[in-house]
Amino acid sequence: MKKLLLLCLCLGVNWAQDDLDFDEYDLEATISPSANGTGVNARGHRPLTRGRDVYTSSQYAPPPISGGGRYRGRPTPAPVGQAQLREKEAQPDAGGCTHAAQDMGVLCPTGCELKTTLLKQERNVKMSINELKPLVDELSRSSNTIYSYVTSMSTSLRERQRVANDNSRVVGEYTDRVEDQHAYIKETVDTVFPSNIRVLQGVLDKVRLKIQKLEKAIQSQRELCVEPCKTKCPIPVVSGKECEDIFRRGGRDSQMYLIQPDAFFPPYKVFCDQTTQKGGWLLIQSRLDGSVDFGRRWDEYRRGFGNTAFDVGKGHCETPGEFWLGNDRISQLTKTGPTEVLIEMQDWTGDKVHAQYRQFTIQSETSNYVMAVDGYSGNAGNCFLEGSLELFGENRTMTIHNGMMFSTYDRDNDNWTPGDPSKQCSREDGGGWWYNRCHSANPNGRYYIGGAYTKEMAKHGTDDGMVWMNWKGSWYSLKTISMKIRPYFASS
């Protein structure tokens, strides 16, 4: 009874200690200092410390069972002594004619009489054995012949029985197959053929209608093409390897151009900004009005998506649309040489800021497009290298984007518990990006009109807007943001 009370007391103390540790930890995690001394919960519903994700309570382990056993000790066996040797009984002399064994009685014959009798019987028995031996040999040979014949007959009978069984099985299978084929043919002729004929008739009718519509469309196109067609968005004659090359070849207008960085790959359309900081910028990302959904799969981010540019009535595509150039193309452009990147953003009051990095490289898909940046300048805040300035210690370092792999909702490469689908940055934050655990900048997040938004408005209760935390914080979604690259060169 005392042991039971002591065990209960230990359990109660342990549980109380676990509750106390968790309460203290929870209080420390939710109250985090900020620059102005107030509490910050920039991670939405996600924890502010790494420890909470892997928290495991210490469980009480009972000691091994002790006390008396259910069995007594085994009895000690008696000592084993040496076997007593039996004295050899003296026998009468072999062949003695005057000695008789006392155990045989006084009426037993002497040894000489027994010997004479046995010798006589031995001669008679040997004669009989010699007469029977040829008969036994003959009988043995006959038995062996009969046994061999019976064995061969049994083997032949089993073989004939096996062949008969195989023939019966083959006949049965063939009969079943013929019956199945007959049933299938009957069903096909009675039901399937008429049904297929009706379906084909319906398909034929639809094809006939489509042909009629195509004939009408062709006729209308012929009527429209009586006059020469004019391109709404013509491609300029000047082209090059990238926008800086186009600028140096004379393409000084900001609009859509055709570039070919590698002669082994076909050219493609891009938008070139030829006015900002002396031009030469190639847009790789643009967010303007939320018209394009950026919550897309890995393959779409690899190829690129959206509208590169459109015409507003001036005869050429001078206005960029919402688009992502494509990770393969971004990697190809940044790996050809030193590249700088310019991120420009605007809030809903019209204020504009920028962040610029003199070095910007995206590795190939084999490394999941790892991003590397350096050399920050600008007034938006250094999110890529320093993380969110609202956070401190580990909470800040896990929002740094430099050195991160690219992640989408169908390919998780972030640092927030890899392999756990419930803790996936891209799924919660609305787009593909170089997430850490998770972000201080989220240019490809969800588009919120008006700027400020709340946890209740967010799909997963997290800061999933177009945020740049070091400028507007986690719960303000920007109006516009764009990313531009150009080959790095020293300004004259």
Higher pLDDT: 444 or 154? It is: 444
Q: In this structure, what DSSP letter does residue 478 have?
A: -
Q: Are residues 268 and 216 in the same domain?
A: no
pTM of the model: 0.57
Please identify, among 229, 257, 288, the residue that sits at the C-terminal boundary of a domain. Answer: 229
Distance of alpha carbon 328 from alpha carbon 305, whole angstroms: 12
Higher pLDDT: 312 or 178? It is: 178
Asked if the model's pLDDT at residue 428 lies above 50, the reply is yes
Mean pLDDT of the chain: 79
Q: What is the pLDDT of residue 87?
A: 55
> Mind listing the pLDDT tens digit for each residue in 181-235?
888 888 888 888 888 888 888 899 999 999 999 998 888 888 877 776 555 677 8
CA triplet 255, 256, 259: central angle to 5 degrees? 130
Q: What is the pLDDT of residue 491?
A: 65
Least confident of 165-174, 264-273, 458-467: 165-174
Q: Mean pLDDT, to the nearest integer, of 80-107? A: 49
Phi and psi at residue 443, in whole multiples of 5°? Answer: -60, -25
> Mind listing the pLDDT tens digit for each residue in 225-234?
777 655 567 7
Best CA proximity match to 338, nearest among 372, 364, 365, 366:
372
Query: Would you say residue 424 lies in a domain?
Result: yes
Q: What is the pLDDT of residue 55?
A: 27
Please identify, among 199, 229, 259, the residue that sits at the C-terminal boundary of a domain. Answer: 229
433 contacts: CB under 8 Å, gap ≥ 6: 401, 406, 407, 425, 426, 439, 442, 443, 444, 445
Q: Are residues 217 and 271 in the same domain?
A: no
Query: Would you say residue 102 lies in a domain?
Result: no
Least confident of 213-222, 239-248, 276-285, 433-442: 213-222
Q: What is the pLDDT of residue 460?
A: 87
Rounded percentage of the chain residues whose pLDDT exceeds 90: 43
Q: What is the pLDDT of residue 423?
A: 86
Q: Are residues 151 and 252 in the same domain?
A: no
Q: What is the CATH number of the domain that holds 424?
A: 3.90.215.10
| Structural domain boundaries enclosing 482 | 243-487
Asked if the model's pLDDT at residue 398 lies above 50, the reply is yes
Q: Mean pLDDT, to the nearest integer, of 75-94? A: 53
Q: Are residues 206 and 269 in the same domain?
A: no
**Taking a C-beta distance cutoff of 8 angstroms, is the pair 271, 283 a contact?**
yes
Best CA proximity match to 335, nearest among 363, 359, 356, 357:
363
Q: Are residues 214 and 250 in the same domain?
A: no
Q: What is the pLDDT of residue 20?
A: 39
Q: Mean pLDDT, to the nearest integer, of 304-333? A: 88
Least confident of 177-181, 409-413, 428-432: 177-181
Q: What is the pLDDT of residue 7?
A: 53
Q: Mean pLDDT, to the nearest integer, of 456-470? A: 91
Is the Cα dihedral 277, 281, 287, 291 positive or negative? positive
Q: What is the pLDDT of residue 241?
A: 93
Phi and psi at residue 83, in whole multiples of 5°? Answer: -65, 135
Is residue 78 very low, low, confident or very high in pLDDT (cuts 50, 70, 90)? low
Is residue 4 very low, low, confident or very high in pLDDT (cuts 50, 70, 90)? low
Q: What is the pLDDT of residue 234?
A: 78
Asked if the model's pLDDT at residue 6 lies above 70, the reply is no
Contacts of the segment 299-306: beta carbons below 8 A, 24+ positions apart: 301/326, 301/327, 301/406, 301/408, 301/432, 302/326, 302/327, 302/328, 302/365, 303/328, 304/328, 304/329
Is residue 89 very low, low, confident or very high in pLDDT (cuts 50, 70, 90)? low
Q: Mean pLDDT, to the nearest integer, of 344-351? A: 96
Rounded percentage of the chain residues whose pLDDT exceeds 70: 75
Q: Are residues 139 and 285 in the same domain?
A: no
Please identify, among 229, 263, 291, the residue that sits at the C-terminal boundary of a domain. Answer: 229
Higher pLDDT: 77 or 333? It is: 333
Q: Are residues 319 and 465 in the same domain?
A: yes
Query: Would you say residue 154 lies in a domain?
Result: yes
Q: Are residues 440 and 340 in the same domain?
A: yes
> Mind listing the pLDDT tens digit for each residue in 97-133?
444 455 544 445 556 677 777 887 888 888 888 888 8
Q: Are residues 179 and 285 in the same domain?
A: no
- What's the domain count of the chain? 2
By DSSP bridging, strand 309-310 and strand 305-306 are unpaired
Q: What is the pLDDT of residue 16?
A: 42
Query: Would you say residue 80 lies in a domain?
Result: no
Q: Are residues 378 and 314 in the same domain?
A: yes
Q: Are residues 272 and 215 in the same domain?
A: no
Higher pLDDT: 192 or 429? It is: 429
Query: Would you say residue 114 lies in a domain?
Result: no
Query: Would you say residue 405 lies in a domain?
Result: yes
Is residue 310 very low, low, confident or very high in pLDDT (cuts 50, 70, 90)? confident
Q: Are residues 198 and 263 in the same domain?
A: no
Query: Hunting for tokens 């900048």 — which residue is that?
Result: 441
